Amino acid sequence: MRLSEFIVANVEPIVDEWQQFAATITPAADFLDTAGLRDHAKAILLAAARDMSKPQSRGEQAAKARGEGPDRTPSLDQAGASHGELRHTVGFDLVQMTSEFRHLRACVIRRWVDSLESPDMTYFQDMIRFNEAIDEALAESTAAYAEQVNRSRDIFLAILGHDLRAPLQAVSMSTELLLRKSSLQGEALTCALHIKRGAHHMAAMVSDLLELVRSRLGKSLPIEPAPMDLAEAAREAVAEACAGNPECDPEINVQGDTQGVWDAGRMDQLLQNLIGNALQHGSNKRAVTLTVSGEGERVCLSVHNYGTPIPEEAIGTIFDPLVRSADEELGQPSTSLGLGLFIVKEVVTAHGGSIEVSSNEADGTLFSVVLPRKS
């Protein structure tokens, strides 16, 4: 009997053995009933049998072995993906989930070989086709499982970031109240100012973390565009960045009409991150230059500084989340999660704009943003 025919004829006892094995994967299996333990096993087996019954050339077989097969098996992929999602939901880890496929493969081959009376070359081809089908189901199941893991992690981070806002706000408000209504002096005043700055940095980090999670959960950055002046926003951002840093004195150049329709809060995020990045990595805090210029239907913003250039191999990933600069990786103090430039890119994208970066020893580092006047 050909293997595909054997699977169809013996699907129930094979699934029974799958169920018995799944029941040994504790403690996750302790909470599953019979239907849960048998989850998608029959669908996977029958889809594999159907796939094996279809003609396949040597070229198609070689392509499938490399994971490049043009023809997928929708029912097999769907069953495998659903199995991975549900196993994650009930608490199976990835090793436990993949062990089910290993056992299923061994069970089918063992039962089929025991049923054979005489060997035939076509049987070896059947084994190859069966292994291909199980590998396809396993790949889909593993991908779906990993996606659920990532989503669960991001939801956890979102909840954590959201819940951290309340105690941070309490710390900030209490510190502000102390500074306004108490005559703090000496060490007491210094400590209160340290607490205020620390709470401000933590709030910014939590905000960046939430923006990252929102992006990973598939949600674009929300914006509320309204008429504003980007040059005025740049001046306010520079003033804020320099409030606690007397060495900070960036130059601002304004050219043309810098009015447009953007989200003022998001523009402040963009400016603060670009200015902060230039001040942190620039060799001279007074040699930072902001240029805002308007022409036609777009407004351009650039931030320039001199200092150690960004390595050429890092340019392609500089806007990726959680990417840290070289000096941060070497242990230099930082109040960043490595999300600043990621947030900048998200803000630009949400407004329909573009951003580029160039960096070398002679010309310095230049971030250039182009924004349409109306988002």
pTM above 0.75, yes or no: no
What is the per-residue pLDDT across 295-330, written as a single tens digit (0 to 9) for each?
899 999 999 999 888 888 788 778 876 555 544 443
Residue whose pair of structure tokens reads 């495998």 in the numeric block: 80
**3-153 topology per CATH:** Globin-like (1.10.490)
Taking CB atoms within 8 Å and a gap of at least 24, the contacts of 230-236 are 230/258, 230/259, 230/260, 230/262, 230/267, 230/292, 230/294, 230/299, 230/301, 230/371, 231/258, 231/292, 232/258, 233/264, 233/267, 233/268, 233/271, 234/271, 234/290, 234/292, 234/301, 236/268
- What is the predicted pLDDT for the residue at 155? 63
What kind and span of H or E run contains 229?
A: strand 226-229
What kind and span of H or E run contains 216?
A: helix 186-216
What span, in angstroms and rounded, lies between the C-alpha atoms of 208 and 107?
50
Q: To the nearest 10°, the Cα dihedral for 163, 168, 170, 174?
A: 180
What span, in angstroms and rounded, lies between the C-alpha atoms of 226 and 218?
25
What span, in angstroms and rounded, lies between the C-alpha atoms of 300 and 292?
6
What span, in angstroms and rounded, lies between the C-alpha atoms of 58 and 161?
53
355 - beta bridge partners?
369
Token digits of residue 297: 């239907």
- What is the predicted pLDDT for the residue at 328? 47
- What is the predicted pLDDT for the residue at 333? 41
Residue type, 174: S
**226-372 topology per CATH:** Heat Shock Protein 90 (3.30.565)
Q: Do 319 and 342 touch, CB atoms closer than 8 A?
A: yes
Q: Do 173 and 111 touch, CB atoms closer than 8 A?
A: no
Burial of 140 (0-12, 13-18, 19+ CB in 10 A): buried
Chain centre to alpha carbon of residue 200: 25
**Structural domain boundaries of the chain?**
3-153, 156-216, 226-372
Residues of the chain with pLDDT under 50: 70, 326-337
